[in-house]
Amino acid sequence: MNTELRNDTDFWMPFTDNRAFKAQPRLLASAKDMHYFTPDGRGILDGTAGLWCVNAGHARPKIVEAIQKQAGILDYGPAFQLGHPLAFELAGRVAHLMPQGLDRIFFTNSGSEAVDTALKMAFAYQRAIGQGTRTRLVGRERGYHGAGFGGLSVGGLVNNRRSFVQLPCVSHLPHTLNIGKAAFSRGQPQWGAHLADELERIVALNGAETIAAVIVEPLAGSAGVLVPPSGYLERLRNITRKHGILLIFDEVITAFGRLGAATASELFGVVPDLITLAKGMTNAAVPMGAVAAKRHIYDAVVDNAQPGIEFFHGYTYSGHPLACAAGLATLDVYAEDGLFERARDLSPYWEHALHSLRGRRHVIDIRNLGLVAAIELEPREHAPGSRAMEAFHACFDGGLLIRVTGDVIALSPPLIVEMKHIDEIVERLTEVLEGLD
C-alpha cells in the first residue's frame, strides 16, 4: 500500500482535517484481534474498538466465514414487499437481547439512519394514536445522534450543527457533565440527577401535547464519555411517561456489551420506548443499524393505517443479507466467548488502571463506566483541542490507537482486551501525557 498521499487525493475524508492528514497520513493496512497493522507491519494496539464498534476484536474467523459464505448464496435481496430468512432470524435474535417488550426490529445501515428512523417512528406513533399535535423533539446539549438531519437537530455538538439547516421544533436538555462538582467520579456521578427535571420546564413552556419524544444517549460517547448521574435516567423515564412522551435511548455505542450488559437499558434498569442500535451489532464487519421498538408502537402504526404500506420509510440495504450473516455470527461470538460478562468482570480492573492517571500532567478529570473511559485534559489557551490531538498522534506513532474529541481522550477497547493490554494502554498514555507541553 502506498503510504505517500498527494494533497489532492480523491477521498474526501469524513470528520477529518483533510489538509493535515494528507500532508502526513497515518494509514491502517490490516487488523487482527486487538491490533491494527500499518502498511509497514507496525502493530497498533486498538484502544477504541475502531470507532466504538469492533467489540469482539478484529477479523474473527466465524464472522469472516459467515460473510464469505453468504456472498455466494444470496448477495442481495430487496426488503420492500419481499424478504429473506436471515433478516427474520436476526430480528428475533436481536429482540431476545432487548428489554422485554422491545421486540419489533427495523433494520437500517448505520446509527445515523437508526436515529432518523426512531424519530420518524415517534411521529408516526403519536399521529396514529390521535396525538398529531406532538411535533416537537427534545434532545440534549453535547448529545451526538449521528450525521443525518434528524440526528444533528436533536444532537447538541455545536460544530456538527453550525454549518447546516436543522429541523424546527427541537428543544434541548442541559448536559450532565460538571467537573467542578463530580470530577474523577468512578462509575455514575452522585451529582446531577436533578438535571432531568429540566424536561418539566420544557413541557411547561411548550405544552406536553406538543412533544413527541425525548432522545438521549444513556452514556454519551462521542461528546467525551458523559456518564449518567445516579437516578438521572430514572427521573427522565418517569417524566416522559407522565406526559405521554416517548423516550428514545440512543444505544449505538452502549449496546452489545460495551457496559457489561446487552444494553445500557438492562444495566441501569430503565426501559425506554425505542432503542437505536448499530456499531457492535455486526462487529463493524458490514455496516448495519436497527431500531428496537416496543410492540405497542408497532401495533399502533400498523393497525391504524389504511390498507397498504403502513410506514413509508426504509432503505435499499435494510436487512442486507451479508449484514444479517455478519450479525448472526457476531451474536454467536458474543455468546460463545461470554464477552458481555467478560466486559463486566474486567470493569473494576479497567477503572482502577485508568484512574491511576489522576495527577498526571494536564489531566483534569477521568470518567469511566463498563469498558469505556475518558481522560479530560486542560485545554491550551486559545487552542482548544490541540493538546488532545497531539496526544492522538503521539499515541498512534507509539503503537496505540485512542480517540479524541475536543480535549478528551476516549477509550473503548474490544471486549477481548486482557489485563496486559490495559496495562499497556495506561503505560503508553502515561508516557505521552508526560511529554505534552
Q: What pLDDT sits at residue 9?
A: 80
Phi then psi for residue 257, to 5 deg, are 95, -10
Domain 65-337, second-level architecture: 3-Layer(aba) Sandwich (3.40)
Q: How far apart are the first and last CA of the chain?
A: 34
What are the residue boundaries of the structural domains of the chain, listed by start? Answer: 18-60+338-435, 65-337
Q: Give the whole-angstrom CA distance, residue 333 versus residue 371.
A: 18
Average pLDDT over residues 62-71: 98
Sheet holding 246-250, edge to edge: 104-108, 289-293, 274-277, 246-250, 211-216, 136-140, 170-173
Q: Which three cell numbers stand for residue 278?
A: 448499530
* Residue 358 pLDDT greater than 50, yes or no: yes
Residue 2: band (very low, low, confident or very high) from pLDDT cuts 50, 70, 90: very low
Distance of CA 319 to the CA centre of its chain: 20
Mean pLDDT score, 341-364: 98
The amino acid that residue 325 corresponds to is A
Average pLDDT over residues 226-237: 98
Q: Render pLDDT for 259-318 as a digit per residue (tens, 0 to 9).
A: 999 999 999 999 999 999 999 999 999 999 999 999 999 999 999 999 999 999 999 999
pLDDT at 4: 60
Q: Which of 109, 48, 97 is nearest to 275 (CA)?
A: 97
In order of 268, 353, 395, the CA distances from 45 in angstroms are 30, 17, 10
For the cut 90, the answer to whether the pLDDT of residue 411 exceeds it is: yes
Average pLDDT of every residue of the chain = 96
Q: What is the pLDDT of residue 165?
A: 87
pLDDT of residue 253: 98
Single-letter residue type at 109:
N
pLDDT (mean) for 39-67: 98
Burial of 199 per CB tally in 10 Å (0-12, 13-18, 19+): buried
Q: What is the biggest distance separating any 2 CA atoms in the chain, rounded to whole angstroms?
A: 66
Say yes or no to pLDDT of 350 above 60. yes
pLDDT of 1 reads: 39
Please state, in angstroms and rounded to a whole number, the distance separating the CA atoms of residues 262 and 260: 7
Please name the CATH architecture into which domain 18-60+338-435 falls: Alpha-Beta Complex (3.90)
The pLDDT of 125-141, averaged and rounded, is 98
- Tell me: pLDDT of 5 over 80: no
Q: What angle do CA 105, 261, 369 make, to 5 degrees?
A: 120
**pLDDT confidence of residue 6:** 58
pLDDT score recorded for residue 8 = 66
Q: Is the pLDDT of residue 3 over 60?
A: no
| Residue pLDDT, tens place only, 185-202 | 999 999 999 999 999 999
